[in-house]
């Protein structure tokens, strides 16, 4: 099997043949367990444990972004073994869940046994050579090496770690690492003569609560993190459902493919074809990093701030947005218009079953004040456009492309927070807008919206955004000047 996936897709590490590293020694120590590290794991240890001429870590911070079940934990265990036995370090291994930190404790405990170390009671004053003491209390696990270092395994909290000092800080499940947790742990390694922080995790998913991992990655990409090493296996763009079932793709972004990760197991992970599944598989198996904040939903407070107490004075032109739902069940229509004071007023007209036909839509489209009409949704877009011709509606509808839909959603988000959009507090519109989440559109990190509540139809919001977009992007005609002599 070719080893083309043993190197990261992207790395911020530059090592030469002359670069000194303790990585090879750590690999050799790990081999005493009878286990062998994969090539990518050995290379990552070399990068993590690179040192300068003074013996200081070249990377005070080192991060690995990699899909699940590839063996990130063994890299950490090998680094921790060397730190305990050879460097006499004081180490703190933290994780988001207690089960994860407990698993890390068990992994290191078993490796020490395999390497010929014996567990010893701490009651005796002096432990014999090649022995260790282990506290197995769940959530407070602890290992001390005879004549060597110590390691604590902890679940992260917003104040955990304060007052303690370590040489090595390990952040497992880094996608869940928050700024509050960082502020509690950041200074725990400051007093060390040679501190190092290692973070490993997957790209954040829709449910991830962390923000630090993404922030550090952005700093690395922008060349603003000189002491931080970074390695990731990641697809640079979203892979569509039609290409997901490709073992070559799985191998490219999973360095343990064919070893820890079997082809049949990954194939079994492909269990759906919804947008949410495709996004999740891209993140958790192909290492895709979304470029938007997946938790950026509109709160009820955000939306209520835009509510008017009385109906506004509107300018003459009206803009209609029509959205056929992706599930082919409903079609929604909304309207937008500029107000006399320069805002854009939006309102939902209706959301009806597609089975009812399009007759109700034409009752509004004949209005002479309507300037532009946008129709989106493959389940009914073309049919309605053809019917408009048959009904004698001369204005040709706009059938927005994917890029235009992405632009409309981004413009809407900006308008909400800049308060350039207003409404009258419709319950149906409020319910959808205040219960939505972002979803990926296209392959360049653009976004749309999906509903968090099954009974709320997102097409109501989508049609409103289309109407808003038409209104916002249409230049107002200047009033004609009359000159008299």
Indicate the domain borders of the chain.
Answer: 10-284, 300-473
pLDDT band at 299 (very low <50, low <70, confident <90, very high): confident
Provide, rounded to the nearest whole percent, the portion of the chain with pLDDT above 70: 93
Question: Which pLDDT value is given to residue 296?
Answer: 42
Question: Which pLDDT value is given to residue 332?
Answer: 96
Cα(228)–Cα(63) distance, integer angstroms: 8
Contact 362, 484 (CB under 8 A): no
Question: Which pLDDT value is given to residue 463?
Answer: 97
Q: What is the pLDDT of residues 205-264, one digit of tens each?
A: 867 778 899 999 999 998 999 889 999 999 998 898 889 999 999 999 999 999 989 999
Question: Which pLDDT value is given to residue 123?
Answer: 57
Compute φ and ψ for 234, nearest 5 degrees.
-155, 140
Q: What is the pLDDT of residues 244-256, one digit of tens each?
A: 999 999 999 999 9
Task: Dig out the tokens for 240 from the structure.
Answer: 């569509």
Question: Which pLDDT value is given to residue 130?
Answer: 92
Please state whether 281 falls in left (phi above 0), alpha (psi between -120 and 50) or beta: alpha
Q: Which CATH class is domain 300-473?
A: alpha beta
| Mean pLDDT estimate for the chain | 90
Question: Which pLDDT value is given to residue 247?
Answer: 94
| Nearest in space to 410 (alpha carbons), one of 442, 382, 449, 436 | 449
Q: What is the pLDDT of residues 78-107, one digit of tens each?
A: 999 999 999 999 999 999 999 999 999 999
Task: Dig out the tokens for 251 from the structure.
Answer: 């191998």
Cα(431)–Cα(324) distance, integer angstroms: 19
pLDDT band at 331 (very low <50, low <70, confident <90, very high): very high
Q: Which residue has the tokens 């009385």?
A: 310
For residue 326, give every residue at least 6 positions away whose Cβ sits within 8 Å of its Cβ, in sequence order, or none. Answer: 377, 378, 379
In this structure, of 61-65, 415-419, 435-439, 466-470, the range with the lowest mean pLDDT score is 435-439
Cα(189)–Cα(194) distance, integer angstroms: 9
Task: Dig out the tokens for 63 from the structure.
Answer: 């991060």
Cα(381)–Cα(47) distance, integer angstroms: 54
Q: Which residue has the tokens 């409020």?
A: 430
Question: Which pLDDT value is given to residue 268?
Answer: 93
Q: What is the pLDDT of residues 1-29, one digit of tens each?
A: 344 689 999 999 978 888 999 999 999 99
Cα separations in angstroms, 129 against 122, 144, 216: 13, 12, 41
Q: What's the topology of domain 10-284?
A: Rossmann fold (3.40.50)
Question: Which pLDDT value is given to residue 145?
Answer: 95
The reply to whether domains 10-284 and 300-473 share a CATH topology is no
Question: Which pLDDT value is given to residue 124?
Answer: 55
Compute φ and ψ for 241, nearest 5 degrees.
-60, -30
Compute φ and ψ for 424, nearest 5 degrees.
-105, 15
């Amino acid at each position: 099997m070719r080893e083309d996936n043993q190197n990261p897709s992207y790395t911020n590490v530059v090592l030469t043949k002359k670069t000194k590293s303790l990585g090879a020694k750590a690999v050799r120590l790990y081999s005493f367990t009878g286990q062998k590290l994969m090539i990518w794991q050995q290379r990552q240890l070399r990068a993590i444990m690179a040192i300068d001429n003074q013996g200081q870590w070249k990377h005070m911070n080192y991060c690995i972004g990699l899909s699940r079940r590839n063996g990130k934990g063994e890299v950490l265990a090998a680094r921790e073994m060397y730190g305990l036995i050879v460097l006499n370090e004081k180490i703190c291994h933290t994780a988001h869940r207690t089960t994860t930190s407990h698993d890390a404790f068990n992994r290191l405990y078993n490796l020490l046994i395999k390497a010929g170390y014996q567990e010893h009671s701490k009651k005796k004053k002096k432990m014999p050579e090649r022995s260790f003491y282990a506290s197995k209390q769940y959530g407070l696990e602890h290992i001390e090496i005879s004549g060597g270092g110590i390691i604590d395994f902890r679940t992260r909290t917003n104040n955990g770690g304060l007052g303690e000092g370590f040489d090595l800080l390990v952040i497992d499940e880094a996608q869940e690492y928050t700024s509050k947790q960082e502020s509690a742990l950041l200074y725990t390694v400051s007093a060390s003569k040679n501190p190092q922080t290692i973070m490993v995790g997957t790209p954040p998913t829709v449910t991830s609560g962390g923000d630090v991992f993404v922030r550090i990655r952005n700093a690395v990409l922008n060349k603003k993190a000189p002491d931080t090493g970074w390695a990731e296996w990641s697809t640079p763009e979203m892979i569509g459902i039609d290409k997901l079932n490709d073992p070559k793709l799985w191998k490219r972004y999973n360095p343990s493919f064919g070893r820890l990760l079997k082809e049949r197991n990954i194939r079994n992970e492909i269990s759906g074809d919804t947008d949410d599944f495709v996004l999740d598989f891209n993140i958790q198996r192909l290492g895709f990093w979304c470029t938007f904040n997946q938790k950026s939903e509109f709160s009820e407070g955000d939306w209520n701030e835009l509510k008017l107490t009385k109906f506004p004075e509107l300018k003459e032109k009206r803009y209609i947005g029509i959205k056929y739902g992706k599930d082919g069940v409903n079609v929604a229509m909304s309207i937008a218009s500029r107000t006399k004071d320069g805002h854009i007023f939006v309102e939902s007209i209706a959301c009806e079953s597609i089975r009812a036909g399009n007759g109700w839509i034409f009752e509004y489209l004949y209005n002479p004040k309507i300037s532009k009409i946008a129709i989106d949704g493959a389940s009914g877009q073309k049919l309605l456009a053809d019917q408009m011709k048959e009904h004698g509606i001369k204005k040709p509808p706009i059938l927005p492309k994917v890029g235009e839909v992405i632009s409309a959603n981004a413009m809407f988000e900006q308008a909400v927070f800049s308060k350039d959009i207003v409404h009258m507090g419709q319950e149906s519109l409020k319910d959808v807008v205040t219960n939505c989440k972002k979803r990926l559109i296209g392959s360049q990190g653009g976004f749309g919206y999906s509903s968090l509540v099954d009974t709320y139809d997102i097409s109501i919001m989508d049609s409103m955004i289309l109407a808003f977009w038409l209104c916002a992007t249409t230049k107002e005609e200047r009033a004609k000047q009359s000159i008299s002599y």
